[in-house]
Structure 1
Amino acid sequence: MEQQIDNLRMLKEAFCLFDKDGDGMISQTELRDVLLSLRPHSPDADNAEQLIAQFDRQEKGSLDYIEFVEMMRGNSQTNQENELLAAFRLLDPNQTGKISQNELRHILSCVGDGTLPESEVEEILHCIQPDNAGYLNYNDFITEMNSSFQF
């Protein structure tokens, strides 16, 4: 829970930095400027219009705070899911969609910056029940991660 609060606090700070004119909205220009400042000559800056279109539910041409959080969470979630899928594929050469608990423990210790505390690894493993043969299903794991560990 504390990590979720910290994540929301960081998102609020990021939103305020992106919202240069302080109007409570991130315009396409503001988003593009931030993307360029993070990576000059980045092709991502050209995606500012697409990002706004994708997450701007009210079709205002800009993002409010809630839409910004959804955009950031969506990107983070997609990256984490891609990392997990790649790790599962390495440990699941026959592409069965299942791995052992020990294999999952190894994946969790390597995802992201590799600093997931052992207590959190155990909490995740406790939430995901293996099948009768002792294996964990990838889809069940992603579903549990998305419902229990979002920020």
Structure 2
Amino acid sequence: MNNGGELAVWDARPNPVPEFGFFRKQDELMIMLPEVSKLHEIFDMFVMFGKDAGADASRISLSDMADCLRSMGVNLSDQWLAARLDEQMHRRQALGLLGAPVSQRVSFELVLSLYCQLADRNEGPSSEEVMSALRTLDPNNTGKLSCTELRRLLISMGERLEESEVIGLLDRVSDIDGNVQYEKLVLDMFGMDGGSEETRNQAKIYLQAIGRNAIDMDMAKRDEFIDALRRADPLNSGYIELPRLLTLVNRRRKCFTLDELQVLTEGMEDTKYCRGINYRRFLRSIMNE
């Protein structure tokens, strides 16, 4: 089944590659991007265990975001996260989205966008470099170092960990003598070290496919809109008459007048065959502009 004309198109090569269009629902993208689906499973764990009465069941608490990102395999400081959230606040303000109180729950798409930023960061040494440096402090190859030595080295890593985080981390893993098994510590700290390259690539494809504004939107409503458009266009022409589009846009509550929708869809009309509005272009505009 075509499902709107933009599901995977497979070629005849030994390892066919799906074509990623814009007009896809979240569950369709998860099937095509299994690494993103794994990240979503991690996110869902925080949804499940951090659920409050009346809370949005598709989002996690703002206070759980750092732990969720670390569970996905990236390391971050509280300072870095605070700076990124501040950037999002300025972005929302520029878009005029701050009329309502700021939500204390965040979407998977926002978490994934931060995941991609963290995975792309080049500051600080790699796990191999840190391990090598620690081994030089362990000439007898005991596999252990004192908390004092580890604290000094880890704090020197720049933005990867702040001093308060280093102290808290070492307090949790040190033994009764104040020593730490540093190889296990480094493996736990770096985790997947930002995930595999394939995971990062799939995460970026997903974000590109759904659009920049998805981090502020209800993806379930977006998917419902896609379903409604597909039903309204059973022949998969890719076009819909403007009055019909207005009905679908205002199906839950009145959002636009006909005149306002005409302005928003300017240049999206099929002037050659008079089939109406290119609704995929309209959705792309909503999700990106």
In the superposition, the TM-score normalised over structure 1's length comes to 0.50
Structure of higher RCO (CA pairs closer than 8 Å, 6+ residues apart): 2
Based on CA coordinates, which of the two structures has the bigger radius of gyration?
2
Query: Whose helix fraction is larger, Structure 1's or Structure 2's?
Result: 1
In the superposition, the TM-score normalised over structure 2's length comes to 0.30
